[in-house]
Amino acid sequence: MVNPNPYTIVPMHERPDLLKETSRLINSQWPASERRRLRTLEASCDNFPINLLLLKDNRVLGHCRISRMPSKEDSCFIETFVIDREYRSQGLGSKLLHAAGELMSKKGIKNSFLSTKGQEKFYSKNGYKICETADIMPGLDRVVPSHQLPFKKINPLPKISGPPPPPMPRNRFLPQTVLLYPGRTHMLKHL
């Protein structure tokens, strides 16, 4: 008999044998060193961060990394979300996103945030709404005056004369931009 649902979704820490394959999938979308990828994938645990894998016959077709938001106890942030290019437009992204939402709900999470550039339609179809900038890591989206930094300046930079740089472009969906994720649309789903 043919399995009617050949896809499974499992946490990365239950399948450490798939670390390198998952790293290759993520790097196909956002290139980075394998060492860096493996370190973030190995951090997966039952609490957070959690790396979810979408598998078919033990082949990694999708990945979703979910982390807690220190600034909001009842919220998580989807850091990475990718489906293998060969398998896109088949509903697999929605399947993985739905499973991520169910997992967050079971763990008492009430809000799921993410940022995207160009995939707003996909996330909207899956219940996400454009929102104001999420304070993902308190303090990282603000410029801190040098006198408030926790270290002493040793060699000051030379003063540069000339006109100031042009203003940062505004996000066409929101009234503000974020230094942490410039040019990206922030979205929220209440779970």
pLDDT tens digits, 4-46? 678 999 999 999 999 999 999 999 998 999 899 999 999 999 9
Provide the b/e sequence for 90-101 (b: ≥16 CB within 10 Å): eebbebbbebbb
Query: If you average pLDDT over each of 77-86, 146-155, 157-166, which comes out highest?
Result: 77-86
Quote the pLDDT of residue 139.
Answer: 43
Residue 126's nearest CA partner among 85, 81, 171 is: 81
65-79, 85-99, 176-190: the lowest-pLDDT one: 176-190
Provide the b/e sequence for 166-178 (b: ≥16 CB within 10 Å): eeeeebeeeeebb
pLDDT (tens digit, 9 = 90+) per residue, 80-135? 999 999 999 999 999 999 999 999 999 999 999 999 998 999 999 999 999 877 65
Q: What is the pLDDT confidence band of residue 72, given thresholds at 50, 70 and 90?
A: confident
Run of H or E residues at 83? strand 72-83
Asked if 125 contacts 116 with a C-beta cutoff of 8 angstroms, the reply is: no
CA atoms within 13 A on the CB side of 7: 18
Quote the pLDDT of residue 153.
Answer: 45
- pLDDT above 50 (res 183): yes
How far apart (Å, rounded) are the C-alpha atoms in residues 96 and 91? 9
Written as six digits, the tokens of 134 are: 């999420």
How far apart (Å, rounded) are the C-alpha atoms in residues 171 and 37? 29
> Between 139 and 186, where is the model more confident?
186
Average pLDDT of span 55-73: 92
- pLDDT above 90 (res 71): no
How far apart (Å, rounded) are the C-alpha atoms in residues 93 and 131? 21
How far apart (Å, rounded) are the C-alpha atoms in residues 77 and 71? 11
How distant is the alpha carbon of residue 63 from its chain centre? 10
Q: What is the pLDDT confidence band of residue 181, given thresholds at 50, 70 and 90?
A: low
Written as six digits, the tokens of 187 are: 């979205």
In CATH, what number does 7-141+170-190 get?
3.40.630.30
Written as six digits, the tokens of 163 are: 């006109």
Q: What is the pLDDT confidence band of residue 155, given thresholds at 50, 70 and 90?
A: low
Quote the pLDDT of residue 171.
Answer: 41
Asked if 128 contacts 187 with a C-beta cutoff of 8 angstroms, the reply is: yes
pTM of the model: 0.74
- Largest separation between any pair of C-alpha atoms in the chain: 75
Domain boundaries, the chain: 7-141+170-190
Quote the pLDDT of residue 160.
Answer: 61
Q: How many residues does the chain have?
A: 191
